[in-house]
Structure 1
Amino acid sequence: MSAGRATAIVGVGYSPIYREKGIDSRPLASQAAKDAIADAGLTATEIDGIFEYPGLPNEISITMQRMLGIKNLASFGDYASSGPSGMAAALGAHMAVASGACDVALVYRSISREWGQQSGQVHFPPAEGPSQYQLPYGVAGAVIPVMGMKKQRRFAELGGSEEDYGHISVNARKWSALNERAALRDPITMDDYLSSRFVAEPLRLLDCDYPITGACAIIITTAERAAGLKQKPVLIDSTSLGTGSRPDWTFTDDFIFGGTREASDLLWKRSSVTPADVDVAQLYDGFTHIAISWVEALGLCGIGEFGDWVDGGKTIGPGGSMPMNTTGGQLAEGRMHGLSFVAEAVLQLRGQAGARQVPDANVSVVANAHGPQCGAMVLTT
């Protein structure tokens, strides 16, 4: 169990999701925050901590404080590009509440379609310092080439087939068809996956998440306070972070797992449950190979055994023995960048996931990011 005061997630909120460019995401972040506060049965005046992972420079915790009319914050954090993307803020808020730095923390992630996209960039800076080794491989065009190399490394070291990755993409659409909020709801087949173009061979278009504009928010407070609030509390059983050795995206010694194995080992060491107790998994699928790495790192199957474990996709899809990414994930709901996985886990454990509800869900594992900035969380009822 995590040290300090026991904590729980008591509120969830979303904004609408948009595909159009040029949308101001600040009102969307405000809407998600207000919906999460209302979902918890609280008022904005009761929030004394705000933690976020910003999509734009002006979207910081004090911006949200002003928009909500909160007089003072006892604790706050802006995580920028460090940590396991949107989930970094949730982990920071949990630690703040557990330590007593604040009592009721709002966590949000707002993101625009344009965020992190350099695909249209033509002119790059001079190749000096580390960039002289990275630019030839296209790293200035985001991490797509690096992710292609990581997928290639998995093939070389652990084997497997293209279909292993395709099962994640195909099942994302099976789940998103049940999620009215999802950006992509039309089904795809394995042939669709295998015929999708390479963006950095062997990485295919349908291996990659789908950029959107939107926001997600959750509320974390003490388990003691949560017991008297509106919703059934979802307890934060354990959390962890991991970097792995030689932490870097391109110059590292573990291209397949990054820090996922270290984060997973620490997560279960701190937890009151085991991988065998997990009812539903929410594992980062910004790229399909990352989700496979988390499945194996978390011990849901053995290292290199994903292809057999996924059983033609049946294991992770609706009705499967380990339902995974039940919103459609980043691949189909849209790139909400991690915090949406936490929110979905909460809805599943509260029994409020509608058509995508996993029966008798009491334990969920959530994991986010890859490389040198991994994070995970176990939630229980």
Structure 2
Amino acid sequence: MSRAEDPAPPGRPLPQLSLDTEFFWTSGADGKLRVQCCRSCDALIHPPQPICRYCRGHDLGVRVVSGEATLAGFTVNHRFALPGLPPPYVVAQAALVEDPRVRLTTNIVDADPGTLVLGMRLEVVFRQESDVWLPLFRPTAEQPETAALPIDEIAPERFGEYVRPMVRQKKFEDDVALTGIGMSRLGRRLMVPPLALTVEACERAVADAGLTMSEIDGLSSYPGGGNLGGFGEGGVGALEAALGVRPTWYNGGIETFGPGGSVIAAMLAVSAGLARHVLCFRTLWESTFAEMTKSGRITPSGGRTTNWMHPFGATSAAHTLAQNAQRHFHRYGTTRETLGWIALNQRANAAANPTAIYRDPMTMQDYLDARPITTPFGLYDCDVPCDGAIAVIVSAVDAAADLARPPILVEAAGTQIIERIEWDQSTLTHEPQVLGPAAHLWSRTTMRPEDVDVAELYDGFTFNCLSWIEALGFCKIGEAKDFLDGGRNISRDGMIPINTHGGQLSHGRTHGMGLLHEAVAQLRGAAGERQVADARVAVVSSGGLTPGGALLLRTAS
């Protein structure tokens, strides 16, 4: 182990030193890497915790480790820039040789990215900035035989073994129905106050259901209020202040299954009798926020971070998912073209949707030639930041029959967390928080993947969608390369039509709420040119590295 001669350029986000993390971020002062350990079972624990997750022991300490690691994943960032960390730079995961379950997010230095190979041996090299010593890694001078990559704590094929059985036969899903949907204007840089978009979508959803605003007695939103930049309008409080609906129940929060979590919470409230008609909504105004920030009209917040990845420039979900995609490539033979078929499918579907942001035809060569974002992702692997709001109404099933539209029933919800929550410590070869909820979904119904007529699957990046395809059983784990080849199986007239409105890759990033809106439209037979014939059952997923969730929907007949 050694200390880098030159200090890091100023400006990259520095970690907040706290009572439980200061030892890690300052241990490089003497050139040694230190990691929390459990004295009872000898496991290394990262990030630090007050209890050992493996033996639940409380006899914890700090251990000096060798500083040697295996390169468990890497991505070359081309798009995102930080002060003091201009692109291109390498974000990586280094699995410690003493306990490969510990994977440190880091930067690879002193190496040409083209020479990096998964499984190569690394050594730590500290770089001081202010009162922090950042543990960076470089390839060792002598390279032993390439090591095997770390393995998941639970093999992707075995997640069903860890699903908790239903606690009772009666399901909350049977008590609810989806009765109204609404979408605001959707576009790039609309320069419209976000709350105005929320109101627009909510008014349309209420009218669609044949309700009046005074009949709405519940509100539910993700991610709630707070300083969320372009990712929210102010939450439940802001909407209630605008509408004055006086709800008997409300919910807003970020620690849930994305927008799908807010809808599931509404279902639980309706099933419990707390409300009859809950208005669920999701608003984004990323394009306008970015434009106003660029022009200086909005000053982004700064300061130190408690995120373990941000100090290394891993500021986007793309940096984590790109490494998972790379490992899927490595283990299963998946290629960029595999992901390309997803992007092309979404674009073809968007061409039939007048509300989609990107509708121009795209070829595989267009996809492959697009500018790189963070390897292996290019521009068309990434969803489209936009301004817009989506609203969905959850009603009591006994109140739904008298409303304006045929109710869409909920067959099952999948929510169980089986994987680790921390992005860089979780599932290696799939999007984390996908395999668990998918297995849980099928435990709550007698239906199976072959019963599904249309799938609206979260596609913040192409790899999210691939992960859900395998997790939900439309093909076996590791077989997406063959299943997606040519795009035929996922087309609107294929084996399982996917993201029929264009998905987030072409329709626009609505964080999964647009997928639910489309599923309802398809089951109603109201999707126009993009309608899938005889659609009776739909699966919808949401959550992009948040805890994921899935819903299985069906028509009443």
Question: Do both proteins adopt the same fold according to a TM-score greater than 0.5, normalized to the shorter chain?
Answer: yes
Aligned to 1:11: 180
Counterpart-to-counterpart distance in 2, 1:257 and 1:58: 28
Instruction: Summarize the alignment of residues 54-93 of structure 1 with structure 2, pairs less than 5 Å apart.
Output: 54=223, 59-70=234-245, 72-80=246-254, 82-93=255-266
Taking the aligned partners of 1:279 and 1:60, their CA distance within structure 2 comes to: 34
AA at the equivalent of 2:273: G
* Counterpart residue number, 1:106: 279
In 1, the alpha carbon distance for the partners of 2:544 and 2:428 equals: 11
Q: Does residue 342 of structure 1 match 2:511?
A: no
SS at 1:199 equivalent: strand
> Counterpart in 1 of 2:348?
174
What is the match of residue 421 of structure 2?
A: 247
Structure 1 residue 356 corresponds to structure 2 residue 525: no
Q: In structure 1, what is the Cα distance between the partners aligned to 2:397 and 2:391?
A: 19
Q: Is the 8 A contact 2:270 2:395 kept in 1?
A: yes
- Specify the code of the residue in structure 2 equivalent to 1:355: E
Q: CA RMSD in A?
A: 2.3
Tell me the secondary structure at the aligned position of residue 110 of structure 1.
Answer: strand
- Provide the rounded CA distance (Å) in 2 between the counterparts of 1:38 and 1:321: 35
Q: Per residue, is there more helix in 1 or in 2?
A: 1
Query: Is the Cα contact below 8 Å between 2:350 and 2:356 reproduced in 1?
Result: yes
Please give the alpha-carbon distance, in whole angstroms, between the structure 1 residues aligned to 2:396 and 2:427: 39
CA shift digits 1:268-303 (9 cap, x unpaired):
111242111000000001010110000100011100
Give the Cα separation in 2 of the matches to 1:194 and 1:206.
9
CA 1:117 to 1:150, structure 2 compared with 1: closer, same or farther past 3 Å? farther
Between 362-371 and 107-116, the greater mean CA deviation after superposition: 107-116
SS at match of 2:443: helix
Deviates more, 1:296-305 or 1:92-101: 92-101
Residue of structure 1 equivalent to 2:441: 267
Write 1 or 2 for the structure with the bigger share of strand.
2
Question: Are 1:79 and 1:88, in contact at CA under 8 Å, matched by a contact in 2?
Answer: no
The aligned counterpart of 1:148 is 322
Task: Name which of 298, 305, 311 aligns with 1:135.
Answer: 311
Counterpart Cα distance in 2 of 1:75 and 1:299: 36
The alpha-carbon distance between structure 1 residues 220 and 57, as it changes in their structure 2 partners (threshold 3 A), is closer
SS state of the match for residue 203, structure 2?
helix
* Pair 1:333 & 2:507 matched: yes
Q: Please, which moves more after superposition, 293-302 or 245-254?
A: 245-254
1:27 aligns with 2:201: no
User: 1:56 deviation in Å?
Assistant: 5.2
Matching residue of 1:202: 376
**Alpha-carbon distance in structure 2 between the residues aligned to 1:309 and 1:97:** 39
CA distance in 2, matches of 1:182, 1:223: 32
In 2: Cα distance, 1:331 partner to 1:158 partner:
24
Aligned twin of 1:284: 458
5+ residue gaps, structure 2, are 1-169, 224-229
Q: TM-score, normalised by structure 1?
A: 0.92
In the superposition, relative to structure 1, how do residues 352 and 253 fare at CA in structure 2: closer, same or farther (>3 Å)?
A: closer
The one-letter code sitting in structure 1 at the alignment partner of 2:186 is I
Equivalent residue in structure 2 for 1:39, among 208, 217, 226: 208
Mapping of 1:205-244 within 5 angstroms? 205-244=379-418
Structure 1: tracts of 5 or more residues without a match: none
Distance 1:18-1:357 versus aligned 2 partners, 3 A rule: same
Secondary structure of the 2:188 match is coil
- Partner of 1:96 in structure 2? 269
Letter in 1 for 2:438: S
Code of the residue aligned with 1:374 in structure 2: it is G
In structure 2, relative to structure 1, the CA distance for the partners of 1:244 and 1:116 (3 Å cut) is farther
Cα pair 1:237 1:272 within 8 Å, conserved: no
Q: Distance in 2 between matches of 1:153 and 1:186?
A: 32
Answer whether contact 1:244 1:260 (CA < 8 A) is retained. no
Alignment length (residue pairs): 375
Deviation at 1:186, TM superposition (A): 0.5
Q: Alpha-carbon deviation of 1:353?
A: 0.5
What is the CA deviation profile of residues 135-165 of structure 1, one whole-angstrom value per residue up to 9, with x for unaligned ones? Answer: 22x22x3222222212111111222121110
Q: RCO greater where, 1 or 2, for CA within 8 Å and sep 6 or more? A: 1
Counterpart of 2:551? 377
Shift of 1:21: 6.0
Determine whether 1:368 maps to 2:537: no
Select the structure of larger CA radius of gyration: 2
Report SS of the residue matched to 1:347: helix
By how many angstroms is 1:234 displaced? 0.4
Of stretches 197-206 and 8-17 in structure 1, the one that deviates more from structure 2 is 197-206
Query: For residues 162-202 of structure 1, what are the alpha-carbon distances to aligned partners after superposition, in whole Å with 9 as ceiling and x for unaligned?
Result: 11100010111110011110000101000011111211111
